[in-house]
Amino acid sequence: MRMDINSIETDGSLIKSAFMLFDKMSEIQKNLPVAYAVFRVIMNPEGDGAVDAKYLYANDRYCQGVGYEKDKLLNQHLTDTYSDNCEELLYFTYRAAYFGEEKHHTIYSYSLGHWVEFTIAPTNIDGCCIVVSTFIDDSHLERELLRRNSTTDDAIVRIARMISSEGVFEDIMNNMLRELSLIIHSDRLYIMITDDVTMDARFEWCTEGAESYIDRLQSLSFEKYFINWRHYLNDDEVIQIDDAATLKESEPAVYDALMKGGVERFVCAPFYDNKHKLLGFLCTINYVANEKIDTIKLIRTISHFIGFRIRNHTLLQLLDYRGSHDELTGLKNRRVFGESLKVTSRLKDHFGIFYVDLNFFKHANDNYGHMVGNEVLKETARRLSAASDYEVYRLGGDEFAILVDDDISEEEYKDILRSLDEAFQKPVLETDEYTINIGISAGFAMAPVDGTNPNELRKIADMRMYENKRRIHEELMKNSN
């Protein structure tokens, strides 16, 4: 049976008897360092947190620890005895009083000159909780810090191994955040990536029931939201904001975004490339301090491993891209075309290829220079890609190929030919100084009509392309005469 909080204010006989029993038990066990107090939580106006807590009872050991006589302590407030570092303690009293949660917490109180270890637990009295305290001496503190650092280092080693493991990059990052969530108690975890123009949430972990915001955290303006990030770095080289409201005046756009995302407090640890250029942040949102883990040290250290892995992944992506793509046009290259054609020929009975060669490109390149020639090739790649639904490849120079991996009719192949021709009816480049017109010659080969061997199809498509090129040349010569 739970007691109504209102009965405490009007008739305290029952609870007084209970506290007298506590006193007797404490007297029997004087040698045990048990200091405890009972609080009534004072809610904020919104009813979703505590602004203070009022002492309903405290035993002698507790009173001695906070430096008050018992009769003067009762009806005082928690903020009177712990004037500093009170925010998290109030949060835990609120969770214990209204959600039945038991929490353990350690703080250093400058007002008392002690490290204080708390256990905050629910009672059967609505709106109340009991707090058991141990006032820690220096030797105890040293042992506690060693234990905490050991636990934190174990977590760092475990997660660093995950980040460095082999496998799919995306899976590794998602699994790492999931593992980190078991250590850091927060609503959400993010890996944010930036190019100094925008900021994107690349990876997200959300606690059960929490709303995902990853879709909203894409293409954020770096200048609008993150330009002042270095200003907020603390001595630990992380951004630690324990109350988002402190940003309301100095960073109004950031504050509004945080409020829309339900962010009350956060820690962001930056990570960099090998030239100390910012790559992004590891962020924990609405985290709760863990007495067994140094959260700041963990976040800061893990961010370095994340930065190293992202740098390597980006480099591998770049090397892979350069090995498979034409650097000028962005199209896939000759090697990939050959591999794709082989795979398609093994998997499908019906497929085909186009070979495309530019007409008059040499004239444009020789007369206007390589810079203009490069622009012609880039525009050609765009037009060829838009002319059909199939992948375009640059084979080299002014030669291109298209791979058709569907079962389409010969008439549809001819439709693609017409689309390719129409794509070059307008000038490819036009400025105040010059107008450049080029045309194309194209030929196709179909499987199984023209054969099934990829090399044979390539020869046929190439032969038909040059037949078209010769025909176009002959028509030009005839018209010029």
Half-sphere exposure of 385 (CA within 13 A, CB side): 12
Distance between CA 102 and CA 422 in Å, rounded? 74
Local structure of 205: helix, strand or coil: strand
Residues 226, 196: Cα–Cα separation, whole Å: 9
Same domain, 277 and 396: no
| Cα atoms in the Cβ-side hemisphere of radius 13 Å centred on 475 | 6
**Same domain for 209 and 248:** yes
Name the packing angle between helices 334-347 and 454-480 (round to 10°): 120
Residues of the chain with pLDDT > 70, as a percent, come to 87
pTM above 0.75, yes or no: no
Question: Domain for residue 41, yes or no?
Answer: yes
Whether residue 104 is found in the same domain as residue 148 = no
What residue type is 38 in one-letter code? V
**Terminal CA-CA length for the chain:** 109
pLDDT digits (tens, 9 = 90+) for 209-239: 888 999 999 999 999 999 999 999 998 899 9
**pLDDT attached to residue 460:** 96
Can you give the residue range of the structural domain that contains 228? 144-320
What whole-number distance in Å separates Cα of residue 225 and Cα of residue 266?
15
Confidence label for 8 from pLDDT (cuts 50, 70 and 90):
very low
CATH number of the domain at 454, please: 3.30.70.270
171-216 pLDDT, tens digit per residue, is: 999 999 998 988 888 899 999 999 999 999 999 999 988 889 999 9
The residue out of 136, 154, 171 marking a domain boundary is 136
- β-pair partners for 133: 35, 118
What is the CA 370 to chain-centroid distance, rounded?
42
Mark whether 206 and 291 lie in a shared domain.
Answer: yes
Residue 328 domain flag: no
157 and 253 in a single domain? The answer is yes
β pairing state of 399-404 and 266-272 = unpaired
The answer, yes or no, to whether residue 24 has pLDDT greater than 60, is no
3-state secondary structure (DSSP) of residue 15: helix
Place of tokens 């609008």: 224
In this structure, the answer to whether residues 153 and 286 fall within a common structural domain is yes
Task: Work out the angle at residue 454's Cα, subtended by the Cα atoms of residues 354 and 412, and round it to the nearest 5 degrees.
Answer: 35
Domain count, the chain: 3
* 162 and 36 within one domain: no
In a domain, residue 207? The reply is yes
pLDDT at 18: 53
Q: Specify whether 270 is located in the same domain as 364.
A: no
Given 296, 320, 344, which residue is the final one in a domain?
A: 320
Compute the distance between CA of residue 469 and CA of residue 465 in angstroms, rounded to an integer.
6
What digits encode the pLDDT tens for the residues 335-364?
A: 999 999 999 999 999 999 999 999 988 888
Whether residue 215 sits in one domain with residue 86:
no
Per-residue pLDDT reduced to its tens digit, 112-155: 766 778 889 998 888 999 998 877 655 444 445 444 555 778 88
**pLDDT(242) > 80:** yes
222 and 304 together in one domain: yes
